[in-house]
Chain A
C-alpha cells in the first residue's frame, strides 16, 4: 500500500491543482468562472461515470455532478483536497442512487463472451490480452464486491485518484480506504486465480 497505484489526479495539461482550487474559490464571487471547471473536468467525470453505469445515465449524472458542485462551491477548501477528487466524490455519491444499474451492468458484462482479439500478439499487447480475456471474470467479481469496496477501488482504477484523494472524495479515513481497496483487490485476484466455474458464473 505504500506506492500509490494510480497517477495522482491529473488535470488537463497546463493546469495545476492549486489553480483549480483558486478558480473554485474565486467562483464564489464570480459564478461564471465555474464553467472553467466544467471545461476542464466534464469529460473526465463523464468517462468515469460511463465506465460504471454506461454513457446514457452518465450524461445525466455528469450534469448533476457539476450542478451540485456549483451549489456547494463555497464549501470547497483547497487546503483539504483537490478539485478533481472533490468532483469525483460528488459523482460517486450520485452513483449510489444507481447501484442496481451498475450491478446489473457488471453482471451483464460477466455473461458476454471475451472479446475476440485481432492483430499481432506483440509482447506489449499480451498483458492487455490477458486482461481482456479475463473480462467476464473481472466483471463478475466487480458485481459481487461490496458496494463500498467497489466504489473505493474504482475511484482509483477509473478515476485515477490516489488513495489519499479517494479517502477525501469519500469523506472517510485514509486507513478505511486502504482496507476497502485491499479487500476489493483480494477478491478480484481470487476470482482470477480460482478455477471454480461457480466463481465466474
Chain B
C-alpha cells in the first residue's frame, strides 16, 4: 500500500455527502446565473453586460459640472420629443447636447491614479421562480471589482450574496490572462483586459466600429453600442480621452431619451438616459442608465424586457490605494 492508498484508507470520504437542500440551493443559483447570462446574450448585447455600470469617476462628474443643470420638465418633454430639460436661461438641452458637453469636460480631466480601480455594485435580478403557484424572487448581491493599474498585477473579484443563501463574503484573486496582463474580472464585466481598454481608439467612428465588432444582428447596432459605450464609461478604468469618446459615441445614437426625477432601484433620484428597441429581436427591451446630476455620479443601470428585468446599482467606484478586501454586505 503506497502513501496515497494509506491516506485514502485512513481518511475515507465523509459518510454524508453534499446535503440535498444545499445541493438544490446551489444548483438553483447556478441555474439563475446561467439564465441571466443566456438572456444577456440573446439580447443584442452579446458579450456586453446588461447591467451597465457607472462610476463616480470622470464622466459623470463631468455631467455635474456641465453648467447645464437638468431641471425637471415633464411638459416640455411631452411637447418636444427629445427635449429633456430646460436650463435656467430658458434654453432647452437635448440628450446629445448634454452628452457632448460632458465629453468635452471629460477630455480635459487629468488621468486619475491609484493602485486599483474599484467598483462596488448592488446587482438585482428577478429570476428565480419558487412555490406553487410560482412567484418571482429577487436575488441581490454585492459585487466588487478591483482592477490593478499596474500591468501584471492580479485583479480581484469580491462577492457577497444577499439573496437566498446566507451572506458569506469572498475575495478571489483572478489569474492574469494574456501573458501577465490583468484580466478584467468576469461576472461584472467584459472580456476586455486593461491593456485592451487602453488600446481602444479615441476616435468616435473607430470606437463605434470596435464596439460593434462581433455583433451578428446589424439591426440592433444602436442598442448594442449604447450598452457597450455606457459600460466602457462606467465599468472600466478608461482614460479621460476614451471616456470622452464613449460619451460622443453615446451622443451620436439617435433616439436616446432623457428623463429627470427618476428613482433608481434603491430610491435615489436622478436623470435617466434610455434607449428602447421594439426591434426584431426576440425580446424587445429598454436599457437605461440613471445619473445623479447634482452629485455628478452614476447611480444605476437597468435592463427591462418583458421576460425579466435586471439592474446594477453602483454604490461606489473610483481609484484607490487600498488593498483588496472582502466586501461588506451594506447596501449603501
Residues of A at under 8 Å CB distance from B? 5-6, 27, 29-35, 38-39, 42-43, 46-47, 50-51, 54-55, 59-60, 62-64, 66-68, 70-72, 74-75, 93-94, 109, 127-128, 130-132, 134-135, 138-139, 142, 153-154, 156-158, 171, 184-185, 188-189, 192
> In the bound complex, how far is the Cα of B4 from the Cα of A153, in angstroms?
8
Contact B14 A130 (CB under 8 A): no
Q: List 7 extra interface pairs beyond A38-B26, A42-B23, A63-B165, CB under 8 A.
A: A32-B34, A47-B14, A47-B18, A51-B11, A62-B18, A67-B30, A157-B8
> In the bound complex, how far is the Cα of B186 from the Cα of A108, in angstroms?
39
> In the bound complex, how far is the Cα of B3 from the Cα of A130, in angstroms?
12
Q: How distant is A132 from chain B, measured CB to nearest CB, in Å?
A: 6
> In the bound complex, how far is the Cα of B29 from the Cα of A34, in angstroms?
11
> In the bound complex, how far is the Cα of B211 from the Cα of A195, in angstroms?
69
Q: How distant is B157 from chain A, measured CB to nearest CB, in Å?
A: 8
CB-CB under 8 A for A62 and B26, given A29-B41, A31-B35, A31-B37: yes
> In the bound complex, how far is the Cα of B42 from the Cα of A20, in angstroms?
23
Q: How distant is A180 from chain B, measured CB to nearest CB, in Å?
A: 13
Contact A43 B18 (CB under 8 A): yes
Chain B residues with Cβ below 8 Å from A130 are 1, 6
B side interface size, CB within 8 A: 45
Give B86-141 interface residues, CB cut-off 8 Å to A.
none
Contact B17 A43 (CB under 8 A): yes
Pairs of residues from A and B, 6 with the lowest C-beta to C-beta distance, nearest first: A31-B34, A31-B37, A131-B9, A32-B34, A46-B18, A71-B187
Give B9-27 interface residues, CB cut-off 8 Å to A.
9-11, 13-14, 16-19, 22-23, 25-27
Contact A188 B13 (CB under 8 A): no
Secondary structure call for the A interface: helix
> In the bound complex, how far is the Cα of B23 from the Cα of A42, in angstroms?
8
Contact partner of A75 (CB less than 8 A), chosen from B13, B26, B170, B177, is: B177
Q: How distant is A121 from chain B, measured CB to nearest CB, in Å?
A: 15
Contact partner of A70 (CB less than 8 A), chosen from B13, B18, B33, B173, is: B33
> In the bound complex, how far is the Cα of B26 from the Cα of A39, in angstroms?
10
Contact B175 A70 (CB under 8 A): no
Contact B9 A132 (CB under 8 A): yes
Contact A34 B30 (CB under 8 A): yes
> In the bound complex, how far is the Cα of B7 from the Cα of A171, in angstroms?
24
* Residue of A59, A70, A71, A74 with highest tally of chain B CB at under 10 A: A71
Chain B residues with Cβ below 8 Å from A33 are 34
Q: Does B269 contact A (CB under 8 A)?
A: no
Contact A47 B13 (CB under 8 A): yes
> In the bound complex, how far is the Cα of B8 from the Cα of A128, in angstroms?
10
Q: Does B36 contact A (CB under 8 A)?
A: yes
Query: What would be 8 A-B contacts, judged by CB atoms less than 8 Å apart?
Result: A38-B30, A43-B23, A47-B13, A51-B14, A157-B3, A157-B4, A157-B7, A158-B11
Q: Does B172 contact A (CB under 8 A)?
A: yes
Contact partner of B10 (CB less than 8 A), chosen from A5, A29, A34, A131, is: A131
CB-CB under 8 A for A31 and B33, given A42-B23, A63-B165: yes
Q: Does B168 contact A (CB under 8 A)?
A: yes
B47 nearest in chain A by CB position: A74
Contact A63 B26 (CB under 8 A): yes
B187 nearest in chain A by CB position: A71
CB-CB under 8 A for A39 and B10, given A31-B34, A46-B18, A64-B170: no
CB-CB under 8 A for A34 and B3, given A50-B13, A63-B26: no
Q: Does B5 contact A (CB under 8 A)?
A: yes
